[in-house]
Structure 1
Amino acid sequence: MGTRFKTESKDPEVNVTTWVLLVVVILSVSARLGTKFNLFHKLTVDDILMVASLVFCIVQSIIISMAVASGYGKHFRDVSPSEFDQVMKYLYAGSLLYLISLTLSKLSLAVFIRSLTPTSKDRLYARIVEGMICAWALVTFFGTAFQCSAPRTWDFWNGKCFNEMAWRFFVSGSNIVTDLIIFSQAMILIYSIQTSVKRRMIFAGIFMPRLLVTAATIGQLSLIRRSTESADPTYGLCDLTVIEVIIQCLSIVTACWGQLKPFLSWMRTNGLKIEGVDDPTSWNYKYSRSQTQGRSQRGHDFPLSMRDQILVTQDWEVDSQSSRAQIIETHPWSTDGKGSPERLSG
């Protein structure tokens, strides 16, 4: 019996990995968006960033398949000069799309973590993290785009380019740094929560899978030297393409992981408030909306009849000693003839 795939070509490996992981990414983003819309009936900025990341991921997958169709995955001796020229163009476009998709998934996660941040100091740190991600994106994007001299900026084989191996090491190494910064952002947030160690560990577990991206990128570092020094570029670079697809998939999936229904439900039941979204079915939402409408209609700040104590929770944990919950004790009021509020006698 013959083998299903030819051993002298890596094109099935590249194609199958690319499309299987793309399906995983699409399912992850769909689950995230479905969960958010079901719980909050709206999407937020981090969701939009994730959708954009998915779009670039899809386009990149198509570009990789076009490169494979042009001879990528075959040995260099089996590829014509015109085919190799097309392969280099597709790899060039794919590398730029990869960086854009990776950046958007990083920003999506960073923005989501910021939406959970309670204090202005933590929000400032979150803004700094987002700025560092954008700076990394600009440097790596334009560095990759103009790695080789114009007009053949895609020609890494015959063109005048700066050290390709050193540049790949820089991109991968700085990618690890930005992911560790995002992870530290989440850990600082968890450390600031006044709650039990057990609940902190559960919360930390939501962000721990992000370290898989770092692990995959470290694996990428081990392949760079062997792949870039290969005299068989259409065959030798395939391993780098596969690991990049894995990194991209993990980056998007782990950015969606914390917003799946079990984790969002856990956060809500433990008093965590996600900025920018309100659940129209919740009691707090209905009450605040009715109070706002009532005050605007009556023209003063005191409702006519309130006999219950209202607990307004604005912090991470209802039972936390450091919670910023405010208990507003209210009593029945009436107005005197001059329109001023007057306490009714018991």
Structure 2
Amino acid sequence: MATNSTLSPEYLAESKTGLVTTMYAIPIALEALSTGWRLWASASAQSGFWFSFDDYLMLFATLVAMTVCVLGIVYGPPNGLGRHIEALSKHQVQQFLKGDYIFSHFYDIAIAFTKLSILALYYRIFVTRKFRLIVLGTACFVIVWVIVMEVTLGFGCRPIKAWWGEAKGKCINKEAFTYFTNVTNMVIDLWVFLMPIPVILGLQAAKEKRIILCLMFGVGLVVCAISAARLSFVFGVASADFTWNEASLGILSAWEPCCAILCANFPPIYRHLVIISEFLRAGVRNVTQWTVTQSRSAATGVSSDRHGGSKGKGEVQHHDWAKLNHSDAFTGETNRTVTEVSAQGPPSDAVEMDGMKVGGIMVERAFTQVSAQDVEAACSSRDIEEGKE
């Protein structure tokens, strides 16, 4: 489009392209890491590279979601997403609209297959017949929904080139269609993420465990918040300056599938996250204990020097156990490395430490320090007793 000479250079120079590019790039790494971790956990649990059906669905959804971000980077900022439309050429605007059309197809498929993966996970882990029938019914509805979205979008303009302005034709109301997509998508998300809550609350388990499970499966409600946020930016589709106003909508369109994937991958990798958390807490606890022990030892040594050296003979000083839990993130098995110090003698003397290997048996060793004078005195006592005999 021709640049309007009445607009200031500052206005025309305004740009969000750097932010848009960054916000499209970050989800790619998060999606790859999250799903890769999920597949790794699944393969480790089954002792081989065989995955569940929900894992394959999630892998496909992740690849499509990553494609969404790549399309956003390729067709978005280079063609004016995040800039005012008056600063763009006609060719740039057409390329942007063409990319937006392709982007929308992949977006619908990504969010649909993420939902199908979650439903497949429900079907696998919840064995109640009634609940499984509800899961299957919901899956059928999601499949019908994505087909309707794709067909409507595919024939959104006749001829299709009219969508990006290369030809004249008749098109659907893009703003109304975007609103409908967002509202129905948000309702389905609410239903899918709340589905297992009644089943979990009915389990014969401790209250704390049921609460944890509800939080684990209900974390996906964050995705609903993103869907709700997208609704506030749908106006950008019908705006005259849509390349500028659609920047926020485009960013949320990339992050919605990403957050859905992260939430869907959370239950399968939850055990690994707990193991890592316990390992880190144990490490911090041991560092703290070691620091406190060193401080006390130093303080005791200073006190001993001030009182004329070592303590009385035979006095025993015991050091507390220092334990470090090592968890195997591959198998979930927990082993222990145990170190104990138990010494007799002056605190200023050197103390030996014995570290056990992973999987070893807990062993306690006592080290005794005896001076040369003590040995001499013991020998003299023994000679006197033998002489009396």
Instruction: State the TM-score, normalized to the length of structure 1.
Output: 0.71
C-alpha deviation, 1:47, in angstroms: 0.6
**How do 1:1-346 residues align onto structure 2 when only pairs under 5 Å count?**
8-41=14-47, 42-67=50-75, 68-152=77-161, 154-155=163-164, 159-225=169-235, 227-262=236-271
Q: Distance in 1 between matches of 2:169 and 2:124?
A: 46
Shift of 1:7: 6.7
1:74 counterpart SS class: coil
Report the alpha carbon displacement of residue 256 of structure 1 after superposing the two structures with TM.
0.5
The 8 Å contact of residues 216 and 266 in structure 2, kept in 1 or not, is answered as: yes
Output the amino acid matched with 1:30. Answer: G
For residues 147 and 206 of structure 2, what CA distance do their matches in structure 1 show?
41
Residue 117 of structure 1: how far off its partner (Å): 1.6
Equivalent-residue separation in structure 1 for 2:21 and 2:150 (angstroms): 24
One-letter code aligned to 1:19: A
Matched residue type, 1:242: I
Amino acid at match of 1:20: I
- Are residues 124 and 153 of structure 1, via their aligned partners in 2, closer, same or farther at CA, if it must alter by over 3 Å? farther
Aligned mates of 1:242, 1:53 — CA distance in 2: 18
4+ residue segments displaced more than 3 Å: 156-159, 263-266
Listed one character per residue, the Cα deviations across residues 291-325 of structure 1 (whole Å, up to 9, x for unaligned) are xxxxxxxxxxxxxxxxxxxxxxxxxxxxxxxxxxx
**Are the aligned partners of 2:84 and 2:244 in contact in 1 as well (CA < 8 Å)?**
yes
Q: Which has the higher Rg, Structure 1 or Structure 2?
A: 2
Task: State percent identity of aligned pairs.
Answer: 25
* Whole-angstrom distance in 2 between the partners of 1:78 and 1:200: 56
Q: State the one-letter code of the partner of 1:247.
A: E
Shift of 1:189: 2.7
Q: CA deviation at 1:196?
A: 2.4
> C-alpha deviations, 1:24-45, integer Å up to 9, x for none?
1111111111111111232111
Report the residue type matching 2:110 in the other structure: S
The aligned length equals 262
Does the CA-based 8 Å contact 1:35-1:261 persist in structure 2? no
Distance 1:156 1:257 in 2: 43
Q: Per-residue CA shift, 1:98-130, capped at 9, x if unaligned?
A: 111111111101110111122221111110111
In structure 1, C-alpha distance between the alignment counterparts of 2:114 and 2:74, rounded to whole Å: 24
Amino acid at match of 1:112: L
Q: Which runs of 5+ in 1 are unaligned?
A: 1-5, 267-280, 283-346
The answer to whether the 8 Å contact 1:70/1:83 transfers is yes
| Contact 2:27–2:69, Cα closer than 8 Å, also in 1 | no
Partner of 1:305: none
SS, match of residue 61 in structure 2: helix
Change (3 A) 1:7 1:195: farther
Shift of 1:156: 7.1
Could you tell me which amino acid in structure 1 is paired with residue 15 of structure 2?
S
In structure 2, distance between residues paired with 1:114 and 1:105: 14
| Counterpart Cα distance in 2 of 1:32 and 1:159 | 46
